Amino acid sequence: MMSHVDNPILEARRLGDPPPGLVREALLAQHDQWAGTPYRLGGTTRRGIDCSALVQQIFSDTFLVDLPRTTGDQVLAGDQVAREELKPGDLVFFRPPGVYRHVGIYVGDGRFFHASTSRGVMISELDNSYWQRYYWQARRTLEPTTLAQRLLASREG
């Protein structure tokens, strides 16, 4: 069995949750930089980006975390969490009609940050009837304490 020193998730749980505002503020600052960027399937830049590339980029830039490139692979990352247990930094997944799946990052207060196919990078409400209808699951890739620690490390480096 791993000790909390060997396992960052156990270490984060031992330390307890950081103020949720730290991760939320960082995500909202990233939103301000990306807001209005158009959606482009397969895109990875501010000229056009898709939902999974946005999530991958935000986690890399903000938390120094490498996530897989596609929604199909991102949905396998971390641990599944109940919708009622969402915390800023959790990934939220949707299954709208058609072949594609959709992913965003929960920012708190029932809202998530994502690259919308119709409106580009934006913040939406989970309780919106469209997103409510197609909500699939949420995943926690790292505990909030670990995200906060990585955020602080990224600011120092």
From the candidates 24, 31, 111, 114, give the one annotated as an active-site residue: 114
Question: For residue 77, which phi and psi values (nearest 5 degrees)?
Answer: -85, 145
Q: Would you give per-residue pLDDT tens digits along the chain (157 residues)?
A: 434 444 444 444 454 555 658 899 999 999 999 999 999 999 999 999 999 999 999 999 999 899 999 999 999 999 999 999 999 999 999 999 987 899 999 999 999 999 999 999 999 999 999 999 999 999 999 887 788 888 877 777 6
Structural domain span for residue 125: 19-156
From the candidates 102, 111, 140, 150, give the one annotated as an active-site residue: 102
Provide the number of structural domains found in the chain: 1
Q: Is residue 124 part of a domain?
A: yes
Q: Is residue 12 part of a domain?
A: no
- Which CATH number do you get for residue 149? 3.90.1720.10
**Distance between alpha carbon 76 and the CA centroid of its chain, in Å?**
13
Q: Is residue 40 part of a domain?
A: yes
Q: Is residue 11 part of a domain?
A: no
Q: Is residue 9 part of a domain?
A: no
In sequence order, the 6+-apart residues with CB closer than 8 A to the CB of 110 are 125, 126, 127
